[in-house]
Amino acid sequence: MKGIVLAGGAGNRLFPTTKVYSKQLVQLYDKPLIAYPISVLMLAGIKDIIIISDANTNELYKKLFGNGSHLGIQISYERQEQPNGIAEAFIIAEKFIGKDSVTLILGDNIFYGKLDFLRNAIKYNKGATVFGYHVKDPQRYGVVDFDENGKVLSIEEKPIKPKSNFAVVGLYIYNNDVIEIAKNLTPSARGELEITDINKEYLNRGDLEVEVFGRGIAWLDTGTPQALLEASTFIGAIEHRQGLKIACLEEIAYLKKYISKSEFQEIIDSIPQCSYRDYLVDVIKNEHLFTKY
């Protein structure tokens, strides 16, 4: 299984900050926003990841993550010259995906809670698996409609009159067919290759599964200033209460045994004196007290 983090987009809703740098580099509580989707892939056991963004932003991501080897994973980079839609990611990443299946996560999406739903979906996926989440403003998202037996009836992109309150979140699992499906898409009225059209094709084939999140999973979309504030407050409250960090990539790499204790210590030694370093020192000193992933 390969992993894609799509971290492009114009970021118009976060102007003027995005005039200077990508929204995925915005500080969300105590770390850059892009760390959160990468952590989801790592926690799901995906160690071969590609970040897709524009050329200038990719250089900044490289400063943050390099090739990922210090985390026991492999990170590569590709360019999306223009925000031509989520589905274009599979065309851009065709060589990276090869003959494998792929999980794509949007660079501004955060998931909090036990990730067994994702691990199981990856394990049992046959065609496509996407996830539904109950929201009060479904017109902002792709919306999935079910019959009384839970069978998927339709998926619509940002409908004016949504048929349900279940939004399709920015996390998608596909078999290798997704590459050819993406290549055969026609741009929508807004000039983009829509991920919803990919999902519709899998639905037409009878190969689409939609897993609905229970109340134990939180999905945060950080596309607006208010959403960023709410997400940062949410993360901060949990971290302060538990004393455990969310999306701490170095901790994940160590506790998931992607890296050795000595490699983890090398990372700690490379970090300047700060609260983030203090946390990692506490992890290595009191490993038995930390919740396993």
User: DSSP letters of 36-64?
Assistant: HHHHHHHHTT--EEEEEE-HHHHHHHHHH
Q: Is the pLDDT of residue 152 over 80?
A: yes
181 CB-side CA count, 13 A: 24
Cβ of 53: how many Cβ atoms within 10 Å?
A: 24
* 202-97-41-203 Cα dihedral, nearest 10 degrees: 0
Closest CA to 106 of 214, 262, 223: 223
Segments of the chain assigned E as strands:
2-6, 27-28, 31-32, 48-53, 74-79, 102-106, 109-112, 128-134, 142-146, 152-157, 166-174, 208-212, 218-221
Q: Which residues contact 61 (CB under 8 A, 6 or more apart)?
A: 7, 34, 51, 53, 77
Distance separating alpha carbons of residues 194 and 143, to the nearest angstrom: 13
For 189, residues 6+ apart whose C-beta sits below 8 A from its C-beta are: none
Residue 109 is classified by DSSP as: E
In which band, very low, low, confident or very high, does the pLDDT at 55 lie, cut at 50, 70 and 90? confident
Dist. CA 138–CA 65, nearest whole Å: 34
| Lowest model confidence (mean pLDDT) among 64-73, 160-169, 282-291 | 282-291
pLDDT for position 11: 66
220 touches 227 (CB < 8 A): yes
Instruction: Identify which of 231, 153, 237 has the alpha carbon closest to the alpha carbon of residue 199.
Output: 153
Decide: 162 and 138 in contact? Cβ < 8 Å.
yes
Radius of gyration of the chain (CA): 19
Residue 26 confidence class, pLDDT cut points 50, 70, 90: confident
pLDDT value, residue 151: 84
229 compared with 51, residue with greater pLDDT: 51
Instruction: Give the span between the Cα atoms of 259 and 283, in whole angstroms.
Output: 14
Of the pLDDT bands very low, low, confident and very high (cuts 50, 70, 90), residue 170 is very high
Q: Cβ(198)–Cβ(182) under 8 Å? A: yes
Pick 192 or 223 by higher pLDDT.
Answer: 192
**Which helix (H) or strand (E) segment is 285 a member of?**
helix 275-285
Residues 6+ away with beta carbon under 8 Å from 25: 32, 33, 34, 57, 60
**Whole-angstrom Cα distance, residue 74 to residue 206?**
34
> How far apart are the C-alpha atoms of 209 and 202, rounded to whole Å?
9
Residue 150: band (very low, low, confident or very high) from pLDDT cuts 50, 70, 90: confident
Ordered by where they begin, the domains of the chain are 2-259 (3.90.550.10)
